[in-house]
Structure 1
Amino acid sequence: MSPRTHASDWHFTTDVDEFLAETRDFLHSRPDLHTVHLTVTDQLRRSGPRAYGDRPPLLGRLVRADGRVGAALLHTPPYALRTTRLTAEETETLVDALLDRGHPVTGFASEQATAEAFAAAWQRGTGASARLGERQRLYRLDELTDPAPLPEGRARVASEADRELLVRWYGGFVEEAGLHAAGDGGEWADFRLSYGGVTLWETPDGTPVSMAGVTPTIAGQARIAPVYTPRELRGRGYAGAVTAQVSRAALAEGVGELLLFTDLANPTSNALYQRIGYRPVADWAEYDLGA
């Protein structure tokens, strides 16, 4: 039987460098399952503690009896608090630790079993309501297969000349997905353009019709995000084509693991990514935690 955990086993900080120094080995041990923690903390290091909102982030780690880190937490309001996988007991101790700090939590996201356990524990501890929001599936690329037939056209890396288009399409993606924008569209576009992080699919006459982004590579992994096609251009194979091409380019650059998240409420996208070689890793759930 493993030693019992306590609220005091959770250690919190707002300093991203301190957090990464303590959790690096743990986060790198499963870069697929820890992809969000890796990419978000990388962005915090690049852009500062207000990268995702007006409030500073809360970062945390669970230290086990042997001194090793066993779980990690990040909260960048207004986004949901996120943790890596937790046992039921660890979830209870986290709720206790957050309540001891008086830290407000209005949303929680993690692998499905952890999210369900946290929502239930938070309800018991606070009396707050818990409503299941988005359910996602994490995929990892196995063997890349081009969609058939490919639509006419070609892929190309977006350039500075595409900045206005990227800003507009990013805004469309955020609005349709019901997300909080991390900074404005211009900041997002400038960052992605700085490392060639968006690929466009264009028709033979050079008209862009779809985009697929890729995060910077950290711990050997990168994540395809976002994938967006304007509503009036959907159903023509553009999203599958551009996703396959951005995936191929990332592999050619030496990325070890390519990942992406899908909304489980969208069977079309889930089927599409599996056709081009992405395979399920784990399901995620996000809960809205009301007063």
Structure 2
Amino acid sequence: MRIDITGDAAHFLADAESFLRQDPLRHTVIATAVANELGGRAGAAATRFLTVREDTGRVAGVATSAFGGRIYLGELPAHSVAAVADAFLAAGPPPTSVEGVRADAETFGREWAARTGGSSAESYSARLFRLGTLIVPEAAGKPRLATVDDLPICRDFIDAFCVEIGEPRPFDEEAARRRIDAGFWWLWEHEGVPAAFVARQSETLGWARIGPVYTPPQLRGNGFASALTATVSQVVRAEGTDVCLFTDLANPTSNKIYQAIGYEPVRDFVHYTLTPAG
């Protein structure tokens, strides 16, 4: 077994594309990271891509590290997870969290804690959904594409979303402008005021992911996010692309509304926070 880590998205894709295509929905996060790096939309993500190779040289597993040590585990051979933890520790930056299917994330967290003296604690669970039969609900107001004039409100919405999920991230204005220019950011406008935000990711390997989705707390319960998510999903599907999204399993409202517009559960993932010793 050999493990390689690179910051070159094109190099990673050349090596791992065949593996990713075996289950592109499972690897939507990693494939999207590649697309954003290649399309200049990654901003401060600074993603590093990992491949696990068998002795024959065939890629058998993938993972990423982004935003200063947030580890995302794709499909991995079970026996490789400890070595993947070692590789990320050696390459840096130091892991700060890990997300993956429960068995892999637990193993990574346990191995990381054993090597560093730190602690690993589950922080949330996420569920991956794929779009089935789309239902577009009605809501007061209308959808529209965001423009560069909307950058301040989009930044406010994204910053609030990141704080709410406990993962604040730096806002990169140049990357944001590129996403707006690509038609990836949408707003729901009610009485002339933006009331909800929905982003879509670029199509890659036949899939495009919806997210983040955000409505300010005082405007929730009006169906704005449901209607906008359905609208954006419809746009993506009209391009001939399959659509997916993630929800927080601890939020029954979001899980309910996405299923109400046609999303079907696929797989669950667990996120662990990694706290250094001392």
**Matching residue's letter, 1:237:** G
**Matching residue's letter, 2:184:** G
What is the DSSP-based 3-state SS (H/G/I as helix, E as strand, rest coil) of the residue aligned with 1:31? Answer: coil
1:80 matched residue in structure 2: 70
1:109 matched residue in structure 2: 99
Matched residues in 2 for 1:98 and 1:108: separation?
11
Deviation readout 1:94-117 (Å, 9 max, x if unpaired): 234445657632221112221112
Q: Does 1:284 align with 2:269?
A: yes
Matched residues in 1 for 2:95 and 2:48: separation?
11
Instruction: Map 1:30-69 onto structure 2 (within 5 A).
Output: 30-47=23-40, 51-52=43-44, 57-69=47-59
Which of 183, 188, 197 is the matching residue for 2:184?
A: 197
Which of 142, 156, 161 is the matching residue for 2:149?
A: 161
CA gap 1:57/1:230 in 2 versus in 1, 3 angstroms: closer
Q: Could you tell me whether the CA contact under 8 Å between 2:62 and 2:76 is conserved in 1?
A: no
Q: How many residues align?
A: 276
2:19 matched residue in structure 1: 26
CA gap 1:126/1:79 in 2 versus in 1, 3 angstroms: closer
What is the DSSP-based 3-state SS (H/G/I as helix, E as strand, rest coil) of the residue aligned with 1:105? Answer: coil
Taking structure 2 as the reference length, the TM-score comes to 0.90
CA positional deviation for 1:145:
1.4
CA positional deviation for 1:225:
0.9
**Matching residue's letter, 1:131:** A
CA positional deviation for 1:73:
1.8
Taking structure 1 as the reference length, the TM-score comes to 0.86
Which of 244, 250, 255 is the matching residue for 1:270?
A: 255
Larger-Rg structure: 1
Matched residues in 2 for 1:221 and 1:51: separation?
21
**Matching residue's letter, 1:121:** E
**Matching residue's letter, 1:34:** H
2:210 matched residue in structure 1: 224
Q: Percent identity?
A: 35
Q: Does 1:172 align with 2:160?
A: yes
Deviation readout 1:30-78 (Å, 9 max, x if unpaired): 2211111111122222339x8325xx54322111234321111211242
**Matching residue's letter, 1:169:** F
Matched residues in 2 for 1:77 and 1:159: separation?
26
* Structure 1 spans left out of the alignment, 5+ residues: 1-5
**Matching residue's letter, 2:128:** L
Which of 215, 220, 223 is the matching residue for 1:234?
A: 220
**Matching residue's letter, 1:130:** S
**Matching residue's letter, 1:285:** V
CA gap 1:21/1:225 in 2 versus in 1, 3 angstroms: same
Q: Could you tell me whether the CA contact under 8 Å between 2:43 and 2:174 is conserved in 1?
A: no
Q: Could you tell me whether the CA contact under 8 Å between 1:87 and 1:114 is conserved in 2?
A: no
Matched residues in 2 for 1:63 and 1:282: separation?
25
Deviation readout 1:114-161 (Å, 9 max, x if unpaired): 1112112223333321111121111111111123xx222222222333
What is the DSSP-based 3-state SS (H/G/I as helix, E as strand, rest coil) of the residue aligned with 2:39? Answer: helix
Alignment root-mean-square deviation, CA: 2.2
**Matching residue's letter, 1:46:** G
**Matching residue's letter, 2:146:** A
Which of 206, 230, 250 is the matching residue for 2:236?
A: 250
Matched residues in 1 for 2:150 and 2:91: separation?
46
What is the DSSP-based 3-state SS (H/G/I as helix, E as strand, rest coil) of the residue aligned with 1:152? Answer: coil
Matched residues in 1 for 2:83 and 2:17: separation?
22
**Matching residue's letter, 2:108:** F
**Matching residue's letter, 1:24:** E
- TM superposition outliers: structure 1 runs of 4+ over 6 Å: none
